[in-house]
């Protein structure tokens, strides 16, 4: 037997291992249908909705939360020397986000931003 520096020739497919059963080939086209809740746009006030978690018809519970916009406006007021007015953005609804929650399961549903 001759020894050469070349590797053995490449074959396109290796023979399957003993006992190996290849998985069935998928059909040419597979259609997948995803059924879920339609995304809902939330407003600044409570509104009726269907909770995607507990599937009940509800009136959302809202909570205000300071946003990045709120903090930036307060910082700008401080930098301009209006340090007494820097707390105003935290009291004005248009500077804050409204988070909507389900009153039954307390699941987060969405946010309204101005």
pLDDT, tens digit (0-9, with 9 covering 90-100), for 85-101 = 889 999 998 889 999 99
The domain tally of the chain equals 1
Strand-pairing partners, residue 111, are 99
Its pTM stands at 0.61
pLDDT at position 24 is 74
pLDDT at position 83 is 81
pLDDT at position 112 is 92
Q: Name the stretches of the chain with pLDDT < 50.
A: none
CB 114 within 8 A of CB 65: no
Residue 105 lies in a domain: yes
Residue 2 lies in a domain: no
Alpha-carbon torsion, ordered 34, 37, 38, 40, to 10 deg: -150
Segments forming the whole domain that contains residue 57: 48-112
Residue 63 lies in a domain: yes
């Amino acid at each position: 037997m001759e020894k050469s520096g070349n590797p053995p020739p490449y074959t396109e497919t290796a023979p399957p291992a003993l006992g190996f059963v290849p998985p069935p080939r998928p059909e040419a086209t597979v259609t997948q249908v995803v059924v879920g809740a339609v995304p809902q746009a939330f407003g600044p006030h409570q509104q009726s909705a269907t909770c995607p978690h507990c599937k009940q018809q509800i009136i959302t519970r809202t909570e205000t939360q300071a946003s990045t916009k709120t903090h930036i406006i307060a910082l700008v007021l401080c930098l301009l020397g209006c340090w007494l007015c820097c707390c105003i953005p935290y009291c004005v609804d248009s500077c804050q986000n409204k988070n909507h929650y389900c009153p039954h399961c307390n699941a987060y549903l969405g946010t309204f931003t101005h």
